[in-house]
Amino acid sequence: MGSAGMENGVLVLTDEIALPISVIRDLQSESVSEDDDVVVITQCGSLGAKLPFGPASFDVVVAVSSSSEFFTERWLEEIGRVLKPRGKILLQTFIEQDKPSSALERKLLMSGFLEVQTFEAKALLPYEKARIVSLEGKKASWTIGSSFPLKKEKIVLPKIQIDDESDLIDEDSLLTEEDLKKPQLPIVGDCELGSTRKACKNCVCGRAEAEAKVEKLGLTAEQINNPQSACGSCGLGDAFRCSGCPYRGLPPFKSGEKVSLPSNFLVADI
């Protein structure tokens, strides 16, 4: 393997205090070759989901915990970071007898690992009560397209290597021609005076005239200092006013009391 100075390797990560060396030997017989360098971190809880390694430093990360909750999304992200593209994560933990392992599989999927599956493996830690679950997943590959010389007649677009997800159908094939056409915007009438807008019960404020002009009627000083409402609804607040009401946008008021102006509105100002 040996690419440009990076160690090959396996990282074994556990929150337990001690990990017997037989674990390394077990791993070496199953998933790791004898030549690989193995780095072990115990009590990894004290690291706060951060590993002291650069990105893409390991081929395999083995994560072992007695608690299925220990490896959070942040941990999985961090493990993903130190894994080389196409690197493997092997997760072993313990869960209650009747709980399914799908929640853990989902967690791995959500953290961006592919080909997540459970597999049978020997327990790396001694534990009687619960059942062990071993999961493996692969980190996505990251290959960059190649360059090519420009030809005069026929140009070939540079190839892009993408991780082949042939086990999923192409979701864009679910759309029809109809779906792909630009959607028709609904016909919107004049938003100020829609057809369902009702005038208040004894409206005398001139809604009919207001249909012609959309501008809000300005308020005179008299209307602010001594507000009156012939229909009785203007002082109740916007919910009760009709769209032509000159007091629209202002807070509720009592007849005859000066209307408080917008600067009193409860706008967040500290």
Q: Using the rule CB under 8 A, is 171 a contact of another protein?
A: yes
CB of 125 vs another protein, minimal distance in Å: 27
Closest CA to 235 of 209, 213, 260: 260
Q: Would you call 36 helix, strand, or coil by DSSP?
A: coil
Q: Using the rule CB under 8 A, is 249 a contact of another protein?
A: yes
Based on its alpha-carbon atoms, the radius of gyration of the chain, rounded to whole angstroms, reads 34
Among 4, 17, 18, 160, binds another protein (CB under 8 A): 160
**Cβ closest to another protein, residue 55 vs residue 256:** 55
Pattern 38-77, binding to another protein, x per CB under 8 A?
------------x----x---------------------x
Q: Which two tokens stand for residue 44?
A: 């990894």
Residue 22 near residue 49, CB atoms below 8 Å? no
What are residue 88's DSSP bridge partners?
60, 138
Sorted by sequence, the CB contacts under 8 Å of residue 74 that are 6+ apart come out as 49
Q: Which of residues 116-155 bind another protein (CB under 8 A)?
A: 140, 142, 144-145, 147-148, 154-155
CA atoms of 265 and 267, how far apart (whole Å): 6
Cβ neighbours, 10 Å, residue 21: 8
Q: Which two tokens stand for residue 262?
A: 């917008």
Among 3, 196, 212, 220, binds another protein (CB under 8 A): 196
Q: Which two tokens stand for residue 125?
A: 């830690």
CB of 135 vs another protein, minimal distance in Å: 15
The contact set with another protein (CB under 8 A) reads: 50, 55, 77, 102, 106, 109-110, 140, 142, 144-145, 147-148, 154-155, 157-158, 160-162, 166-169, 171, 174-176, 179, 182-186, 188-189, 191-192, 194, 196-198, 216, 236-240, 243, 248-249, 251-252, 262, 265-270
